[in-house]
Amino acid sequence: MLLTSFFAALAMSFAVGWIILRSRSLHARFSLDHDTSGIQKFHSYAVPRIGGIPLMAGLVVGVTVLLAESEDWGLADDLMLCALPAFGSGLIEDLTKKIGPLPRLLAAFFAAACAFFAMDAGIYRLDIPLLDSLLSAYWVLALIFTMFAVGGVSHAINIIDGYNGLSAGVCTIIFSAYAIVAWQVGAPQMLAISLIMIGTLIGFLLWNFPRGKIFAGDGGAYLVGFMVAIIGVLLVKRHAEVSPWFPLVCMAYPVFETIFSIFRRKFLQARAVGQPDALHLHQMIYRRLVRWRVGSRDRRHRTSRNAMTAPYLWSVALTPVVPAVLFWDDTPMLIAIFLAFSLKYVWLYWRLVRFRSPRWLILYRAHTEHLSYRKK
């Protein structure tokens, strides 16, 4: 049953991606990302940015197959419906380019509120005594906290969605961790949804990585981000043995990336928090570590360099996830893992900014035309 849903989601996500690419001339006016020179743009040619459609299609088909097998999977249906506001606002932005970050974030808040009331998907404990007492005593506080946490994670996934395979690969790692722990604690619904999301992401990745033929866009990023956050909330809410820090540590990379970016812009650069820049960790890695044919204007070289960035961040994301899976019920250990990851992140970022990149991390291949010009 679970494998059937997994493969159904994978096949549908892949098939819808193929349809979008084959029919791009029909929707190019609305769907293509023509901006290749923006501050956060690193692709070489116009690419469809409506990858959220195959991602949602994979989720819908996976859930449909699951429900066809048994009526005991009603949670999956509710979860999919609650995700619609986050997905819809992002997709409208992908098609119109007229929906700003704030409306999309508010839509994610609303989606979290829907899940809170429809499935009791609320954050009531963090294993911090005083805070746990307040969250348990006042449901309004739990609602507000849940909305900000889920909306924040949705936005965080959108922030790291910068290179071919980056965010989809990171989220596949997170859902894999969820699936392992869900299996250990006997949570078949959480296991099923995690496997469906893994299948959906793999089907999308077959088009997105390494060639970047289709982008997830805001619709895809907010959909996957919402699912990452809410499944983590439900896993903790329905299984008291799972530490509330487990999903947070699994999401340590995108979450800390967002927190650090806010701190960097507000306090170190005295700029507006919402102002985009090209100083995220993945962008620094692209510039400082992936030195693959730098200066070449060949599309193949630029696309290869783009794709080579994602594996660096996959390893960054794996650093806290692996120990989190081993210590999923140990809050003090998970807190220590999160703090250790935060220090590692700051150290790596500082080295990159100061042009002190560890040499063993640099991937270098000279562009021959550039070298011949220098010799002259």
Binding-site residue positions for Mg(2+): 158, 218
Tell me how far apart the alpha carbons of residues 76 and 266 are, in angstroms, rounded to a whole number: 39
Count of other CB atoms within 10 angstroms of residue 241: 10
- 46 dihedral zone (left: phi>0; alpha: psi -120 to 50; beta): beta
For residue 53, give the amino acid letter: I
Give the three-class secondary structure for 95. Answer: helix
For residue 186, give the amino acid letter: G
Annotated binding residues: 158, 218
Tell me how far apart the alpha carbons of residues 286 and 361 are, in angstroms, rounded to a whole number: 12
- 47 dihedral zone (left: phi>0; alpha: psi -120 to 50; beta): beta
Closest CA to 328 of 246, 239, 229: 246
**DSSP string over 298-349:** -HHHHHHHHHHHHHHHHHHHHHHHHHHHHTTT-HHHHHHHHHHHHHHHHHHH
Residue 292's DSSP bridge partners are 365
Closest CA to 123 of 255, 233, 252: 233
Per-residue CA distances from 34 to 43, 89, 237, 254, 321 (Å): 9, 20, 43, 26, 35
Task: Report yes or no: 62 and 200 within 8 Å, Cβ to Cβ.
Answer: yes
